[in-house]
Chains A and B, each alone.
Chain A
Amino acid sequence: MIAKPASRHKAPARRVLSAVACWLPLLLGFACLLAAAAPERARAASSPCEQLQAKYPQFKGKTLVDAVNPHTPGYEALDPNDPSRYVGFDIDLAEALGKCLGFGVTYKPVSFAALLPTLQSGQADLVISDVYATSERARAADFITYSKVFDGVLVAKGNPRHISGINTSLCGDTAAENTGFVEVPLVQNLSGACKAAGKPQPAVQLYDNNADCIQAILAGRADTYINDVNTVDQAVKAYPDKLGKAVAVTLPYSIGIAVPKDKPQLRDALMAALVELQKEGKETALLKTWSLGAGKMESPRLVQS
């Protein structure tokens, strides 16, 4: 998308001309957005990320606040070995984006339901916290998708209730979910189907974080917890004698980075940086590092309303 640096084979005398020729479209492209300073910086840039930093200089050297719901090991959680920091795919992704655009990141832990209100109130600049980019949520923020959604169905070991997904097998069962999760309406919408089948309706218990939902199953209060498959896998790994994954389901959603609606520059910059990271294979590497499955990667697209 951006002009490549000048060829190494050309003689110094022509290099200047060539460089001018190469930079000209770029300059024209930037002209409407950036004034005089841009060409100087652009000339020094060599990598795509440096070019982005030149294009969006307002983020360089800044520290952005990333609101997270750090109860999702694999995506975002405390480092059990060093609880003073957060680790996970979303954290690494935020750091990589920051590195590309030249900003640092601090994290603000809030409950899942408070993620978008925190962003809207200006207490955070972005949210990268395993949030599914639904059209309803897009009314509160703009989303840049970065991953497909695969859900897992967490059940007690041996799946005593024979749950096979978000379907009528849930009728009469109780699902633990976090407040604001997309799975909540999906389970609730089964009522009609259950009624038609002459079965009792499924119930939903609402909690504030994954740990509470997992505890609900361990305590026998809930029969299942349906959430991102990685979260489910982590839970099974932690309680191999008590929990099991019934099945994985695909949901028609993508996971996205939420940015305030009134900051289109930030949205564009993050989108461009994400494209670059994917192009460089960094997101794939991160997915692999956190055992999330490389197949989850999704080309960035905007979800707005």
Chain B
Amino acid sequence: MALFLHYLGLPYLLWGITLTLEVTGLGLGGGLLAGLVLAAMQLGRVRPLAAFARAYAVIFRGTPLILQMVFAYDALPHVGLKLSAVAAAGLALAANEAPFIAEILRSGVRGVEAGQVAAGQALGMTPAVLMRHVVAPQAIRSMVPAMGNEAVSALKNSSLASVISVQELTLRSTQLASSTFDFFSIFFASGVVYLALTGAATALQLAAEALLDLDRPAPRELLRRLLPGRRVALPARAAAGPAQGVPEPVPPVRSRAPAADRPPLSGRPLAVEVRGLHKRYGNQIVLDGLDLAVRSGEVVALLGSSGSGKSTLLRCINRLEMWESGLVRVGGQRLDSREDGARLSARALARQRARVGVGMVFQQFNLFGHLSARENVAGPLRWVHGVPGPEADRRADELLARVGLTHRADALPRHLSGGQQQRVAIARALAPNPAVLLLDEPTSALDPELVAEVLEVIRQLALGPDHDHFHPPAPLCRGSGGPCRVPQRRHRRRGRGRPRRADPAAPSADGALPAGDGRRAPAGGRDMTARQSFSFSPADGVPPGVAPFSHATRWGDLLFVTGQMPTDPATGALVAGDVVAQAEQVRCNLEAVLARFGLMLDDALMVRVYLASFEADYAAFNDAYAGWFRGPLPSRTCVGVTALALGAAVEIDLILGIANDPPSSNTPRVSA
């Protein structure tokens, strides 16, 4: 024991620690640098570089470190590279650690949800901004335990430097044992020193984990602040308290023309223009020559069966997906390439997205998991749009107040309910004042009881009473199977001059437009939350032999209906033989549905139909729908019948704009 303590305190042995740490430091530092390069090569798209990195990993991960040490020390001098023993040991250790660290980095980066990356791209983040503010902060957190492993492993592996004459702890121990014959005392002492060193490495790892823990109480912000992507909360706004559902006007980031000066819908510029869009995944054709035109201020809902390409269309519109042929313009600008046809770099694409202003809300929310609700909104404003910090925070707080989440501004996404998360996501998408807002099944991942809150937010944002202050973007909503969820008043405002009878079941029509463009001025009193929803079964007054629409929801003026055309269960083919018969079935169904809401088909102002995989004559189908409306207004027709995909199940969904203007209203004409 006395001998053990003697050797434990022997300066000669303890000095070995410095060399041990030196080799370990060189190995870890060099390994980290080389690992970063290797990981970047493998994550990148240049195949030869990825192949090189893979080959490197195979060689250096597949050969013993001791051979690499001897190689660096004894073989490199033959080619004129004579390193000192410590440098050679550090080089070998770094070369050996690099592939392991590269794998840790790679798995860390890949571990960040793809959805968050897509959300960052949709917000217009360049790859560098995305890496710095979204991927790296989360990847680093997940990599700490594995890095701790690597540090301990490197520390122990540094003992192999003893074979190439580095006077580190192990070499000193063995030499001392040879000269004194106190074999065990010395090796126990050396072992204790190694334990202390690895213990310190473990303690560092645990400390780093604790400091980076997002759930840690606020005062321990030090290291977190050193990491990119998280800022200290502003105390001022958070105190506002829960102001659920009391939206306030939010001044836009970019100044826009006041509503009164904006031209009527039909005269407005195209927000989204899709022409002849072809998109395929492998052999599967998803979009086959799709055309779509959405004007600024318009709300369009896409409906179709699962797999019919609704999401793909949205992802094409902001170019999260590339397509085979066709043209997509957002705000008159192309995102797939420059106007001269040259390919856009990822960076240029991000800039273009930010400039054009395409907001997107995802089914899975895709909030940045390491950022508070406020930062989720304010961060992209700062990083992408260069909004100064305080202003970004102010806007974030205002938007959060608007979606009723002031009291949760400092909460992490994981501490928010699904509905709250989606409301934050909507606030985030709206923050830069996008020209187009894409809502990709914004409520389908939510529990039924949470759907309403999100719909309410969407509704208020789109139809809010403060048009003069807050310009609603043109949302494109997609829903699958369920009722479509975007109400839109403006559609209806396309100015059918005919007074319509009031609908007893619906809330009274809302505030009037501003006088300037002939609309009624805001009058208040509209019950935005009024909603009626029915499910239907064959017993619901549907004529025999006709399959009913399965679900219908009414939001104020809008009625959303979804259902499938009857098909033969044996063959999967449509029961009805021809297009006209099918349209007739749809009409029967529709009338049954409308009856439940106390409405008639003639109340429908506009019908928009999307067909998934309808391999029939679209024009004939359109004509058949048009035939429903026998009134004097030819424009009251089906405005769109679009094939989304071939090969998916046949399905017809409808959106109806129900006219329920009070008869006394002054027949505003916006123009048609």
A residues sitting closer than 8 Å to B (CB atoms) are 67, 70-73, 77-80, 83-84, 108-111, 114, 117-118, 120-123, 208-211, 214-215, 235, 238-239
| Interface segment out of the listed B117-125, B174-182, B401-409 | B174-182
Given A122-B82, A123-B74; A83-B12 close (CB under 8 Å): yes
A77 with B163: CB separation less than 8 A? no
At the interface, yes or no: B85 with Cβ under 8 Å from chain A?
Answer: yes
* Residue B172 at the chain A interface, CB threshold 8 Å: yes
CB distance from B33 to the nearest CB of A (A): 26
Other-chain residue from B70, B172, B180, B183 in contact with A114 (beta carbon distance below 8 A): B70
How far in angstroms is the closest Cβ of chain A from B326? Answer: 64
Q: Are B74 and A121 in contact (CB under 8 A)?
A: yes
| Known interface pairs A114-B163, A120-B74; A239-B181 also in contact (CB < 8 Å) | yes
A211 surroundings in chain B (CB, below 8 A): 174, 177-178, 181, 183
A215/B183 in contact, CB under 8 A: yes
In Å, the complex CA distance between A105 and B231 comes to: 58
* Cβ-defined partner of A83 (8 Å) among B75, B78, B176: B176
CB closest residue in chain A, given B88: A123
Any A CB within 8 A of the CB of B10: yes
Chain B residues in 8 Å Cβ range of A239 = 181
Contact with A along B224-263 (1 / 0, CB 8 A): 0000000000000000000000000000000000000000
CA of A203 to CA of B433 in the docked complex: distance in angstroms?
A: 83
Report the Cα distance A97→B167, complex, angstroms: 25
Cβ of B194 within 8 Å of any chain A Cβ, yes or no, is no
Report if B164 contacts A (CB, 8 A): yes
Any A CB within 8 A of the CB of B73: yes
State the Cβ distance, B11 to closest chain A Cβ, in Å: 8
Q: Check B178–A210 contact: CB distance below 8 A.
A: yes
Residue of A nearest to B76 (CB): A121
Contact of A121 among B77, B163, B175 (CB under 8 A): B77
Q: B171 interface residue, CB < 8 Å from A? A: yes
CA gap between A120 and B82 in the complex, in Å = 12
Is the Cβ of A84 less than 8 Å from the Cβ of B179? Answer: no
Residues A71 and B175 in contact in the complex (CB < 8 Å), given A83-B12, A111-B163:
yes
Neighbouring A residues of B171 by C-beta, 8 Å: 109
B532 within 8 A of A: no
The contact sample of 24 A-B pairs, CB cut-off 8 A, is: A70-B175, A70-B179, A77-B178, A78-B12, A78-B179, A79-B179, A83-B12, A83-B13, A83-B172, A108-B165, A109-B165, A114-B70, A118-B165, A121-B74, A121-B75, A122-B77, A123-B74, A123-B77, A123-B82, A210-B178, A211-B177, A214-B181, A235-B181, A239-B181
Interface of A, helix, strand, loop or mixed by DSSP: mixed
Q: How many A-B residue pairs have CB under 8 A?
A: 82
* CB-based contact A83/B82 at 8 Å: no
Complex CA distance for A275 and B178, rounded to whole angstroms: 31
Residues of A within 8 A of B174 (CB): 71, 208-209, 211
Chain B residue nearest to A83 in the complex (CB): B12
Residues of B within 8 A of A122 (CB): 77, 82
Interface string of B80-100 (1 = CB under 8 A from A): 001001000000000000000
Instruction: Provide the residues of chain B in CB contact with A80, threshold 8 Å.
Output: 176, 179-180
Name the B residues within 8 Å of A79 (CB-CB). 179
Query: Are the C-beta atoms of A72 and B178 separated by less than 8 Å?
Result: yes
Chain B hits for A123, CB < 8 A: 73-74, 77, 82, 85, 165
In the complex, which residues of chain B have a beta carbon less than 8 angstroms from the beta carbon of A121? 73-78, 82
A110 touches B165 (CB 8 A): yes
Contact yes or no, A110 B178, CB < 8 A: no
Contact call B181/A70, Cβ cutoff below 8 A: no
Indicate with 1 or 0, residue by residue over B176-195, a CB within 8 angstroms of chain A CB atoms.
11111101000000000000
Give, as a whole number of angstroms, the nearest-CB distance from A256 to chain B.
21
Shortest Cβ distance from A71 into B: residue: B178
Alpha-carbon distance between A14 and B167 when the two chains are bound, in angstroms: 59
Given A110-B165, A123-B77, A211-B174, 5 more A-B residue pairs with CB atoms under 8 Å apart are A70-B178, A78-B175, A78-B180, A111-B163, A210-B178
Interface centre among B78, B180, B181 (most CB of A within 10 A): B181
Q: How far apart sit A89 and B75, CA to CA, in the bound complex (Å)?
A: 31
List the A side residues contacting B172 at CB < 8 Å: 83
- Shortest beta-carbon distance from A124 to chain B in Å: 9
Chain B CB within 10 Å, residue with most, of A121, A209, A210: A121
Q: Given A83-B12, A123-B73, A211-B181, verify A114-B176 contact (CB < 8 Å).
A: no
A-contact bits for B47-79, CB 8 A (1 contact / 0 none): 000000000000000000000001001111110
A79 to B175 Cα, complex, angstroms: 10
Q: Do B175 and A114 touch (CB < 8 A)?
A: no
Distance to closest chain A CB from B310 (angstroms): 67
Report the separation of the CA atoms of residues A114 and B160 in the bound assembly, to the nearest whole angstrom: 13
Which residues from chain B contact A111 at a C-beta distance below 8 Å?
163
Residue-wise interface mask of B (153-177) relative to A, using a CB-CB cutoff of 8 A (1 in contact, 0 not): 0000000000111010001101111
**Cβ of A215: which chain B residues have Cβ within 8 Å of it?**
183
**A78 and B176 contact, CB distance less than 8 A:** yes
Chain B min CB distance to A290 (Å): 13
Question: CB-CB < 8 A to A83: which residues of B?
Answer: 10, 12-13, 172, 175-176, 179
Residues of A within 8 A of B167 (CB): 109
- Which residues of chain A come closer than 8 Å to B177, judged between CB atoms? 211
* B-side contacts of A110, CB under 8 Å: 163-165
The 5 closest A-B pairs by CB, nearest first: A71-B178, A83-B12, A77-B179, A238-B181, A121-B74
**With A and B bound together, what is the CA distance between A114 and B12 in angstroms?**
24
Instruction: Name the distance in Å between B275's Cβ and chain A's nearest Cβ.
Output: 69
A73 & B78 in contact (Cβ 8 Å cutoff): no
Compute how far the CA of A122 lies from the CA of B163 in the bound complex, rounded to whole angstroms.
Answer: 16
Q: What residue of chain B has the Cβ atom nearest to residue A214's Cβ? A: B181
Q: Do B74 and A78 have beta carbons less than 8 Å apart?
A: no
Is the pair A209, B73 in contact by a Cβ cutoff of 8 Å?
A: no
Residue in A closest to B181 when the chains form the complex, CB atoms: A238
Nearest Cβ distance between residue A188 and chain B, in whole angstroms?
24
A70 to B177, CA, bound (A): 10
CB contact between B12 and one of A73, A84, A235 (< 8 Å): that residue: A84
| Cβ contacts under 8 Å, B175 to chain A | 70-71, 77-78, 83, 109
Kindly state the separation between the CA atoms of A195 and B192 in the bound complex, as whole angstroms. 48
Residues of A within 8 A of B165 (CB): 67, 108-110, 114, 118, 123
Contacts of A73 in B (CB 8 A): 178-179
Min CB distance A24 to B, Å, is 43
Q: Which residues of A contact B181 (CB under 8 A)?
A: 211, 214, 235, 238-239
The interface residues of chain A lying within 8 Å CB-to-CB of B180 are 78, 80
CA distance A210 to B70 in the complex (A): 21
What is the chain A residue whose CB lies nearest that of B80? A122
Distance to closest chain B CB from A239 (angstroms)? 7
Shortest CB-to-CB span from B162 to chain A, Å, is 8
Task: Name which of A78, A80, A83, A238 has the most chain B CB atoms within 10 A of its CB.
Answer: A83
Nearest-CB distance from B168 to chain A (Å)? 11
Q: Which of B1-24 contact A (CB under 8 A)?
A: 10, 12-13
